[in-house]
């Protein structure tokens, strides 16, 4: 099984614990990523554990696949340099099942963050005629195996919690060398390299709540909120310096600064709230707002991560022509959405923005048309071509399968 792999080269993943994957499933991606207040009896909600209790007696198994095509552009020394990239990964595996009419549980496995970057820079050395070459690469990421539980309290109040085991490793390497192009000297064949590898494993928590008051016979108001408390997770870190040849052969013994040293990284608190308006499983429109305190992040060695607080605003809608029909085309679901993000990254004092739009469609499958195949497409841009910012223009594609069935029911023989 492939997890914690990236979606293509992302220079910004060098910061913190890397790029975070969306917490929603393919269904949510098609409607701007909203899912804090809204849920469906046919799909699994992975964003707010409280809304698991909205599910019916069906057990649902879901699989999500993701791919991304990306164009990276930057202005360097008066010229524009570009690169195209593509990456793909398993988005999630998830299973939800009822304990009773008021209580549902879920198990899920998904990538949580990914680190995937490779950059090269050239800089002059003081007032000399020489310059130095610097290479930076990073690989790895964290995965999340989660158990969640949601309860219905009374008629329309819901509460839930998620406990997740976060695990994985991140390796960052950097090296430098002096470029000397004098006659009969050639290029120096010695690199000074540094390798930093951190392994993470610990438990993180999420709390959720929701309220669904009826406004009329046909309309329902959905309110939801989730809270991820600030958490310190256990990790071990190895940090090594070494001189090597250009082909990677060791010239000197490694200088080990830290080897398997125990530490704890600090994950920030996050708060998400959502509001949506729903009409009898046929039409829904909503908005989600999220706040992430990334200034609280600390590395394994308890150093600041040079991050800033993040903000997410998403809006989306969903339409099914006639949810109680038996005609196929009436059961096709259409989605669209928009998302605005203030990323936790700053370049030259300016916070990076990510703006994207999305569309999606779900097609019913199976004898009773309760299974679905969902396709979502997200297109957006991160950063702009000013100063030293890197502009990322991307198209993210996702394919999801939702399989519903009655499990744990007693067989009746006539």
- Distances 322 to 318, 351, 392, 400 between C-alpha atoms, Å: 12, 44, 39, 22
Write the DSSP assignment of 115-144 as a string of letters. EEEEEEEEEE-TTSS-EEEEEEEEEEEEEE
Polymer length in residues for the chain = 414
Helix (H, G, I), strand (E, B) or coil at 295: helix
Residue 162 has pLDDT above 70, yes or no: yes
Q: How far apart are CA 93 and CA 116, in angstroms?
A: 22
Q: Which residues contact 97 (CB under 8 A, 6 or more apart)?
A: 59, 60, 104, 105, 106, 407, 408
What pLDDT, in 10s, does the model give residues 281-295?
A: 899 999 999 999 999
Q: How far apart are CA 198 and CA 133, in angstroms?
A: 25
* CA gyration radius, the chain: 24
Confidence (pLDDT) at 100: 87
What pLDDT, in 10s, does the model give residues 78-98?
A: 778 888 888 888 899 999 999
User: Per the structure block, which two tokens stand in for 135?
Assistant: 């290479």
Confidence (pLDDT) at 382: 92
Q: How far apart are CA 70 and CA 81, in angstroms?
A: 14
Which range among 182-186, 200-204, 304-308 has the greatest average pLDDT?
200-204
Rounded to two decimals, the pTM is 0.88
How far from each other are the two terminal CA atoms of the chain, in whole angstroms?
A: 44
Residue 370's pLDDT band, with cuts at 50, 70 and 90, is confident
Break the chain into its structural domains and give their ranges: 11-405
Residue 74's pLDDT band, with cuts at 50, 70 and 90, is confident
- β pairing state of 283-292 and 270-279: antiparallel
* Cβ proximity of 182 and 233 under 8 Å: no
Q: What are phi and psi of 13, to 5 degrees?
A: -70, -5
Q: Which residue, chain included where needed, has tokens 């994950």? A: 267
Encode burial over 255-266: b for 16+ CB neighbours within 10 A, e otherwise. Answer: eeebeeeebbbb
Q: Which residues contact 185 (CB under 8 A, 6 or more apart)?
A: none
User: Per the structure block, which two tokens stand in for 362?
Assistant: 């779900």
Helix (H, G, I), strand (E, B) or coil at 146: strand
Q: How far apart are CA 204 and CA 168, in angstroms?
A: 14
For residues 220-248, give the mean pLDDT.
90
User: Per the structure block, which two tokens stand in for 9?
Assistant: 């080269």
Confidence (pLDDT) at 209: 97
Confidence (pLDDT) at 411: 52
* Cβ proximity of 359 and 395 under 8 Å: no
What pLDDT, in 10s, does the model give residues 266-280?
A: 999 999 999 999 998
Fold designation for 11-405: Porin (2.40.160)
Residue 160's pLDDT band, with cuts at 50, 70 and 90, is very high
Burial of residue 249 (number of CB atoms within 10 Å: 0-12, 13-18, 19+): exposed
* Residue (of 300, 302, 359, 352) closest to 335 by Cα position: 359
Burial of residue 110 (number of CB atoms within 10 Å: 0-12, 13-18, 19+): buried
Question: How many CB atoms neighbour CB 99 within 10 A?
Answer: 13
* Cβ proximity of 68 and 86 under 8 Å: yes
> Pick the residue with more confidence: 356 or 18?
356
- Distances 206 to 12, 74, 96, 241, 348 between C-alpha atoms, Å: 26, 38, 17, 38, 34
Q: How far apart are CA 149 and CA 110, in angstroms?
A: 17
Residue 142 has pLDDT above 90, yes or no: yes
Residue 1's pLDDT band, with cuts at 50, 70 and 90, is very low
* Cβ proximity of 309 and 330 under 8 Å: no
Q: How far apart are CA 222 and CA 220, in angstroms?
A: 6
Q: Measure the CA dihedral 208/213/219/222, to 10°.
A: -20
Residue 394 has pLDDT above 70, yes or no: yes
Q: Which residues contact 96 (CB under 8 A, 6 or more apart)?
A: 44, 52, 55, 59, 60, 104, 105, 106, 107
């Amino acid at each position: 099984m492939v997890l914690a792999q990236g979606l293509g080269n992302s220079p910004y993943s060098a910061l913190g614990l890397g790029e975070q994957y969306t917490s929603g499933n393919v269904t949510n991606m098609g409607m701007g990523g909203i899912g804090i207040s809204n849920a469906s009896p046919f799909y699994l909600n992975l964003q707010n554990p409280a809304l698991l209790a909205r599910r019916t007696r069906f057990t649902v198994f879901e699989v999500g696949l993701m791919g991304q095509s990306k164009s990276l552009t930057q202005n360097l020394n008066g010229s524009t340099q570009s690169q195209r990239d593509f990456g793909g990964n398993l988005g999630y595996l998830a299973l939800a099942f009822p304990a009773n009419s008021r209580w549902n549980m879920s198990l899920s496995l998904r990538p949580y963050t990914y680190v995937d970057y490779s950059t090269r820079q050239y800089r002059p050395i003081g007032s000399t005629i020489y310059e130095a070459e610097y290479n930076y690469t990073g690989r790895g990421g964290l995965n999340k195996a989660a158990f969640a539980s949601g309860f219905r309290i009374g008629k329309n109040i819901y509460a839930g919690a998620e406990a997740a085991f976060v695990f994985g490793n991140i390796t960052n390497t950097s090296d430098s060398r002096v470029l000397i192009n004098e006659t009969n000297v050639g290029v120096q064949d010695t690199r000074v390299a540094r390798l930093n590898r951190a392994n993470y494993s610990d438990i993180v928590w999420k709390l959720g709540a929701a309220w669904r008051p009826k406004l009329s016979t046909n309309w329902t108001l959905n309110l939801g909120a989730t809270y991820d408390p600030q958490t310190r997770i256990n990790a071990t870190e190895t940090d090594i310096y070494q001189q090597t040849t250009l082909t990677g052969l060791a010239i000197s013994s490694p200088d080990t600064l830290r080897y398997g040293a125990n530490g704890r990284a600090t994950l920030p608190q996050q708060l998400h709230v959502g509001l949506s308006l729903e009409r009898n499983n046929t039409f829904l429109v909503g908005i989600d707002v999220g706040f992430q305190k990334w200034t609280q992040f600390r590395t394994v060695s308890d150093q600041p991560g040079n991050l800033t607080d993040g903000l997410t605003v998403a809006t989306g809608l969903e339409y099914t022509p006639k949810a109680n029909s038996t005609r196929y085309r009436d059961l096709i679901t259409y989605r669209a959405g928009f998302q605005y993000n203030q990323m936790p990254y700053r370049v030259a004092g300016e916070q990076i923005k990510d703006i994207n739009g999305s569309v999606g469609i779900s097609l019913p499958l199976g004898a009773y048309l309760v299974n679905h195949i969902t396709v979502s497409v997200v297109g957006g841009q991160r950063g702009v071509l000013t100063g030293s910012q890197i502009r990322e223009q991307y198209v993210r594609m996702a394919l999801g399968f939702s399989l519903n069935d009655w499990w744990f029911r007693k067989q009746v023989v006539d």
